[in-house]
Amino acid sequence: MNILGKSGDRWVYSPAVKDHFFHPQNLVDDLKNFNDKKYNGIGMVGSPACGDMMKIWVTIDPKTDIVKECKWQTFGCASAIASTSMLSVMVKGMAVDKAMKITPQDILKRLGGLPPRKVHCSVLGDKALRKAINDYFRQTKQYERIVVDGAVVVDPETKITDKDIEEAVLEGADDMKKLQQKLKVGIGNKAVYKKAEDLLAKYQEKYYG
């Protein structure tokens, strides 16, 4: 597979990349009228304040363990849009365990490649997808199925990590009540509560002073 096509100083994108950029599939383009209550897993990576952001909503059939729907929204570049559009097509009808193992390389292969400097954009989608599926596991109390990705576990019972708390703060959790409503972290565990409280203060200071 050729990851890069080059003509002079201009990058050449594959037909699949162009198609998914100009005609993105499963994109949420009207968030105001979007009913996210019908989805049982939500995952977000990045932040609009920091640049690229990706949010994914999934509907997983609890009887079959199949991803029935996958919607998304991003503030990313053309490559991020094309990558996530392709991902949303790939994952529909897929078993959850298989969906959790999708890699950026899988997406790149289906797209016919991306310029090297844009490969990182494909990482946003698969990370957000894993977070959405982990959210589904958490909502359905399937804690043993949660996959922790390069973070420190704060709550061993629910597998909430420091990254989960950081992202919750970026999404507006500015006190422990809001944090626990969002993540169910440290409920009935004073030691975990204190860790979560300290991280909440740390990220509030980091992002909002």
In degrees and rounded to multiples of 5, residue 42 shows phi and psi of: -130, 135
User: Tokens at residue 204, please?
Assistant: 């509030």
- Which positions are annotated as active-site residues? 50, 121
Please report, as a single letter, which amino acid is at residue 115: P
The set of residues, in sequence order, having a beta carbon less than 8 Å from that of 36 and lying 6+ positions away, is 42, 57
Asked if residue 187 lies in contact with residue 197, where contact means CB atoms within 8 angstroms, the answer is no
User: What sign has the CA pseudo-torsion 130, 131, 134, 139?
Assistant: negative
